[in-house]
Structure 1
Amino acid sequence: MSNMMIKEVIASIEQLAPRSYAEDFDNTGLLTGSSDMKVKGVLVTLDCLEQVVDEAIDTGCNLIVSFHPIIFSGLKSLVAKDYVSRAVVKAIKNDIAIYATHTALDNAKGGVSYRMGQAIGLSGMKTLIPKKKLIKKLVTYVPTAQLEQVQEALFQAGAGKLGNYAECSFVSQGQGTFKGNEQSNPALGERNKRSTEIESQLSLTFLPHLENQILQALHSSHPYEEVAFEITELENKYQDIGMGAIGNLTDPLETQAFLDLIKRSFDTGSVRYSHNFQSNKGQRKIIKTVAVLGGSGAFAINDAKAAGADAYVTADLKYHDFFQGERLLLCDVGHYESEQFTKNLLYEYLSEKFSNFAVLCAKARTNPVNYF
């Protein structure tokens, strides 16, 4: 048996999909069990239904990593009377932890929508709807003589790294004043005397899931007994994190050929699509740029248009949504079908990270929709 704890596996998952990336309405994280249990095995699934819990029991796995959270809204009782409570009660009885990633993985670069794009051969993919109010900024004040040691510690903790650039900061110099009382132990100056020191103002941006380790690095490297700092949330969008993806087909396709590609790539029983797709001149249009978004994606139709997509592939479109398909081919491949690659994504990631216990893909078919 592995000596690794479930919390260590969770920490690794949250490097791929930090919970700070999740939407406010979501319920990500550890839903049942204890993070202090030793890992016996991990079962990866799209949905954590009762038959998935049975499979975990049969294969000796005590951690289920699920994309969808089986507990989404509040449970008022734990009587095993529906598909949610049956799965939860069985997991608790058998000491099985359930962890859900959901929109944290939706928003991660290389996550759900990027896998959709890979399935149909898109190149040059970028995030369709970059997330706002994600980037934070740290401002602190350091004696100039110790600036380099503090700056380096913060860089090592992940501050100043966004996209393809690392070790980004801004430094300005000025004078700082302070006066310690009788209980103080100033690194510079004397108690009960106002000191004036040449200090550097150091500014760095960072992603929110790194905040604790960055503050630990700041306090451990800073020479002052009381460290002055400010953290603010920026309005900026972050291009690498957010919903959906958009990219280009290597070879442009006409509508029918594109629909054939979609149906084949997502192995779906049907593709619902908008009928009024045409170019501005009413001619048959060639599809080159494609936007994708896993799960319910009607909210992003206008974003796909604004990004210049010729087609938008998603799920759960309603009747009136399809009327928005002017000059944009809307394709609904089904909710399960749009997210089916997520299980493989998580399996591949965890298998590469951990080799001292079994990581398995659930065999249970959890798609509640059938086609006739």
Structure 2
Amino acid sequence: MKISQITDVIEQFAPLRWQEPYDNAGLIVGRPGDEVHRALLAVDVTEEVLDEAVREGCDLIVTHHPIIFHALKRFNSADIVQRCVERAIRDGIALYACHTNLDSAPGGMSWRLAQMLGIGRLEVLQPAATDPNVGFGVVGELAEAVGTVEFMRRIQLVTGAQVIRHSDVATPAVRRVAVCTGAGASLTGDARRAGAELYVTSDLKYNDFMAPDKALTVADIGHFESEYCAIQLLFDILSKNLRTFAVRKSEGSRNPVNYLV
């Protein structure tokens, strides 16, 4: 199957025009007309993921994070980005990323994580100016109020998060919850204005835990932990639309952050 046939399916769900200006989503290595036979789905392109692709006979890797964000001036194996791109080219493995366009797509990343956590009646937390159905984060409600700490324990079970960093617990129980996968500190105000009692995201800095009011608990579950759902989301998109194309969920896609607890 041609790469373009596969990427067209992904881009019907998450068009590239929805990516942020700083992003580099799309086909990074390979040509649209190249034939590929099996895709490996991962969060990042790493040397371990490339090993897995070779071992499993995958000639296309689809990831959430682009391996290249900034222009490369040389290829001399000086860092992991150069080594991975060099190897992909050498081994004939195409690389495709679906990043902020998948984040902002209706039914995308935050929607998937929220649904996994049992949050319903979802709405976009920060709608795009051009389309209220597109945007970052979601806010919704649980079927019934749950103890705040108990719900954070649920998050750990669902996402595999070893640690959750959180602010002071603002309310003993939560029902209205906001979610933004990845780095979502900039949406804290949106979560507060949406009436959320808990905001689940990642990559919060020290001062982000100092909420200006006592109505919102913020919880940082870890970047990888919040976005690991990308693998299943991409698997569902491809397997439902390309029934004759082989798609494999990576077993070598792992968190680069280690915790000493």
TM-score by length of 2: 0.96
In structure 2, what is the Cα distance between the partners aligned to 1:58 and 1:353? Answer: 25
Matches within 5 A, 1:105-144: 105-132=102-129, 134=130
Q: Does 1:40 align with 2:34?
A: no
Aligned partner of 1:329 in structure 2 is 217
Paired letter, 2:143: T
Paired letter, 1:82: D
In structure 1, what is the Cα distance between the partners aligned to 2:224 and 2:64? Answer: 11
Q: Secondary structure at the match of 1:239?
A: coil
In structure 1, what is the Cα distance between the partners aligned to 2:50 and 2:149? Answer: 41
Aligned partner of 1:289 in structure 2 is 176
Percent same amino acid at aligned positions?
40
Aligned partner of 1:190 in structure 2 is none
Aligned partner of 2:250 in structure 1 is 362
In structure 2, what is the Cα distance between the partners aligned to 1:364 and 1:78? Answer: 25
In structure 1, what is the Cα distance between the partners aligned to 2:221 and 2:149? Answer: 15
Q: Secondary structure at the match of 2:132?
A: strand
2:227 to 334, 339, 342: 339
Aligned partner of 2:147 in structure 1 is 254
1:12 is displaced (CA, Å) by 0.9
Q: Does 1:62 align with 2:31?
A: no
Paired letter, 1:55: E
Matches within 5 A, 1:220-239: 238-239=131-132
In structure 2, what is the Cα distance between the partners aligned to 1:240 and 1:257? Answer: 31
Aligned partner of 1:82 in structure 2 is 79
1:370 is displaced (CA, Å) by 1.4
1:298 to 185, 194, 198: 185
2:163 to 270, 280, 294: 270
Aligned partner of 2:134 in structure 1 is 241
1:313 is displaced (CA, Å) by 0.1
Paired letter, 1:61: C
RMSD value, Cα? 1.2
Query: Is the Cα–Cα contact under 8 Å of residues 295 and 338 in structure 1 kept in the other structure?
Result: yes
Q: Which runs of 5+ in 1 are unaligned?
A: 135-237, 279-283
Q: Does 1:98 align with 2:95?
A: yes
Paired letter, 1:313: V
1:26 is displaced (CA, Å) by 0.5
1:286 is displaced (CA, Å) by 2.4
Paired letter, 2:178: A
Query: Is the Cα–Cα contact under 8 Å of residues 125 and 248 in structure 1 kept in the other structure?
Result: yes
In structure 2, what is the Cα distance between the partners aligned to 1:33 and 1:50? Answer: 18
Q: Secondary structure at the match of 1:330?
A: strand
Aligned partner of 1:10 in structure 2 is 7
Matches within 5 A, 1:135-154: none
TM-score by length of 1: 0.68
In structure 1, what is the Cα distance between the partners aligned to 2:107 and 2:121? Answer: 12
Query: Is the Cα–Cα contact under 8 Å of residues 49 and 366 in structure 1 kept in the other structure?
Result: no
Q: Which runs of 5+ in 2 are unaligned?
A: none
Q: Mark the structure with the bigger radius of gyration.
A: 1
In structure 2, what is the Cα distance between the partners aligned to 1:365 and 1:117? Answer: 22
Q: Which stretch of the first structure deviates more once superposed, 104-113 or 351-360? A: 351-360
1:355 is displaced (CA, Å) by 2.5
Paired letter, 1:331: A
Aligned partner of 1:318 in structure 2 is 205
In structure 1, what is the Cα distance between the partners aligned to 2:241 and 2:77? Answer: 35
Paired letter, 1:113: S
Query: Is the Cα–Cα contact under 8 Å of residues 322 and 330 in structure 1 kept in the other structure?
Result: yes
In structure 2, what is the Cα distance between the partners aligned to 1:35 and 1:61? Answer: 16
Q: Does 1:353 align with 2:241?
A: yes
Structure 1 residues 340 and 106, CA gap change in structure 2 (3 angstroms): same
Query: Is the Cα–Cα contact under 8 Å of residues 42 and 253 in structure 2 kept in the other structure?
Result: no
Runs of 4+ displaced beyond 6 Å? none
Q: How many residues align?
A: 259
Q: Which stretch of the first structure deviates more once superposed, 69-78 or 308-317? A: 69-78
